[in-house]
Amino acid sequence: MNMLNNYKGLPRSIYFLFIVQVVNRLGDFVFPFLSLLLTQKLQFSTAKAGSIVMIASIVGIPASFIGGKFADKVSRKKTYIIGQGLAAISILICGFIKIPTVTVVLLISSAFFNGFVRPSMSAMVADLLPAEKRQIGSSLLYLGINFGVALGPIIAGFLFNNYLSLLFIGDALTSFIAVSIVCIFVEDTEPLKIIGEARIEEKEEEGNIFEILLKRPFIVCFFAIDIIYSVIYRQSLFSLPIMMTKVFGYSGSSKYGFLMSVNAITVVTLTVFIMQVIRKLRTLTNMAIVGVFYALGFGMICIIGKNYLFFIISTVVWSIGEIIASTNFGVYVANNSPRNCRARFGAVGEIVSSAGAALGTFAAGKYIDIYGINTVWMAIFVLALIGGALMLVLQYFQMAASN
Instruction: Tell me which residue range forms the domain holding 319.
Output: 211-402
Q: Is residue 221 included in any domain, yes or no?
A: yes
Q: pLDDT over 70 for what percent of the chain?
A: 96
Q: Is residue 258 included in any domain, yes or no?
A: yes
179 in the same domain as 322: no
When pLDDT is averaged across residues 365-372 and rounded to a whole number, the result is 88
163 in the same domain as 244: no
pLDDT value for 202: 65
292 in the same domain as 150: no
- pLDDT band for position 91 (cuts 50, 70, 90): very high
pLDDT at 33 over 80: no
Q: Is residue 204 included in any domain, yes or no?
A: no
- pLDDT band for position 191 (cuts 50, 70, 90): low
54 in the same domain as 156: yes
The pLDDT tens digits of the residues spanning 375-401 come to 999 999 999 999 999 999 999 999 998
When pLDDT is averaged across residues 92-107 and rounded to a whole number, the result is 93
Residue 216 CA to residue 202 CA, distance in Å, equals 11
Q: Is residue 200 included in any domain, yes or no?
A: no
236 in the same domain as 338: yes
Pick from 63-72, 219-228, 362-371 the range whose average pLDDT is largest: 219-228
pLDDT at 192 over 70: no
- Residue 114: closest CA among 91, 142, 147, 138: 91
pLDDT value for 198: 47
126 in the same domain as 60: yes
Does an H or E element contain 31, and which?
none
pLDDT value for 196: 43
pLDDT at 60 over 90: no
pLDDT value for 154: 77
DSSP state of 300: G
When pLDDT is averaged across residues 265-284 and rounded to a whole number, the result is 91
pLDDT value for 286: 97
Long-range contacts of 32-39 (CB under 8 A, 24+ apart): 32/152, 32/153, 32/156, 33/156, 33/157, 33/160, 33/167, 34/107, 36/160, 37/160, 38/104
Q: Where are the alpha helices (DSSP H) in 2-133?
A: 12-26, 34-36, 46-58, 60-73, 76-94, 100-128
373 in the same domain as 326: yes
pLDDT at 197 over 50: no
261 in the same domain as 127: no
157 in the same domain as 30: yes
74 in the same domain as 217: no
Higher-scoring residue by pLDDT: 7, 80: 80
Higher-scoring residue by pLDDT: 140, 53: 140
Total of domains in the chain? 2
pLDDT at 373 over 80: yes
Confidence (pTM): 0.82
The pLDDT tens digits of the residues spanning 126-173 come to 889 888 889 899 899 988 988 887 778 778 888 888 888 999 999 999
pLDDT value for 2: 63
User: Across all residues in the chain, what is the average pLDDT?
Assistant: 89
Q: Is residue 256 included in any domain, yes or no?
A: yes
Q: Is residue 2 included in any domain, yes or no?
A: no
Q: Is residue 254 included in any domain, yes or no?
A: yes
Q: Is residue 1 included in any domain, yes or no?
A: no
Question: What CATH code is carried by the domain that includes residue 238?
Answer: 1.20.1250.20
The 10 Å Cβ neighbour count of residue 51 is: 13
Pick from 3-7, 36-40, 309-313, 345-349 the range whose average pLDDT is largest: 309-313
When pLDDT is averaged across residues 61-84 and rounded to a whole number, the result is 92
181 in the same domain as 59: yes
How far CA 335 is from CA of 68, 219, 283, 365, 395, in Å, comes to 17, 10, 10, 36, 14
The pLDDT tens digits of the residues spanning 308-353 come to 999 999 999 999 999 999 999 999 998 898 888 888 898 899 888 8
State the helix-helix crossing angle for 239-248 and 342-371, rounded to 10 degrees: 30
Residue 156 CA to residue 138 CA, distance in Å, equals 26
223 in the same domain as 135: no
